[in-house]
Structure 1
């Protein structure tokens, strides 16, 4: 095995084939299409990270959460932001513990140097203690290193990687290609069981080619009405079939409008829960107007839609 070849993951019956992956997700209330199930299947067997792109709120983060539930693995999440560096993402030294260790050495300095015949011999003894000073015992693992050190594997979610800097992408390359981290003072730490890695992006900036080359690519668009109806049914079982179809038809019509922020799947689900809470049986313009703030998060979008509410509601009811 070459130094850059990750160890092989054990076969998992939950990843036996693509239909098994898809049905497993459905059991955990994550409704997906064949393309998503295929990508996760390949990521597991090829040990390749997955770069998941698409509009906000289409289930990119939820895919990682569902995979962790499906495989019963710990989820390690790193939320990216501008200025994120290795001390927050990879590792840092336990400076307080190192300071305490330094004080202990100072107190025992005479004992350590006792019997040293010359300066060279004394320095050699101190050097032995310096090696301990920069060891894993004094290392504080951050999310990326935590995921590599999980003994049975993990799902590593690097969320909104497009919000990080180009310099941070460089820190990721070694992990994404070989599932290892090189720490200058210690050496290379490799994963015993490679994690399943998901990187999500909302396309706020272009990601580097080096990062993309290391990943499988998955684009998740807004789902069609059939898939979204199944998602709502899985997440909000208390909603009637008729109202669920009206709700989905209305949301899909909103996504055709010229809005600042289109309603996401998560907001469709929230609206469904709202309608259940209000004991609604069908959509009407007044009900929609009073709950529109669940779907639309900008006042200008609400003002854009308001004159069309009666027509949109009528069309949604006719779509059933």
Structure 2
């Protein structure tokens, strides 16, 4: 398919979104059939573009809450590689915020036999990549959790030519908005990149364009409490596990503006026999995860539990009608 950058790329369902859609459709159908037993307003959001951090923001900025009232609580569910039949949930920070940048470095191209007549953007970009790694190790408090990654590096087409430009993408993640602001904005990432370009005599300052911005995800304790109580009753205590904070990101919290409480949990999907084999061999860290071409969720019990969990979670906050 052609992506949002206009580039044609191979694609697959590698993050569980087909399961997310199926589970939400099933839960909505279940709750619709049960309307005589509850009252309130329920909105099922089939949000696009979570991978690029743009779907929730686009919906809100396009007037989602001008069409429907602001919610009292927002709930979200996402597939992970954990054991099928389990849920992971907990209060506090559970997913990192991220800010992603596209960086273009400008040199002066020419033939590889005459580097003295060129300004090599590849060498400059390599220096930028290495220097960016020192931000976390030397500028951020070791007690803060954060990471800086250069996820792509593109320059030139020929082995015997020095290109005019090099392009990088820089992905910054952390649980603290203050730390993210310190690393990004006009601070560390920009300072390092501009300085390395100046040190190498680049023909102009680099272009640094922010292409993704997702806030850290912080589950509301007052929402998680009653939710866990209902889910324990549904699945049993052994199925409910604490959600370990993860450096992955999700733009789900943008659907909860103005301090609206929210809760986000993950749904295990690895087939039981696969999980047991990897666990017995001490290789759980090698299980295919989301975004791997080998990621293959078990349809059942994942889909059934996903449907029941979403429906039960909604009913934990909707008012039940008095039985006649």
TM interval, shorter chain, is: under 0.3
TM-score under structure 2 length normalisation: 0.26
Higher gyration radius (CA): 1
Larger strand proportion of the pair? 2
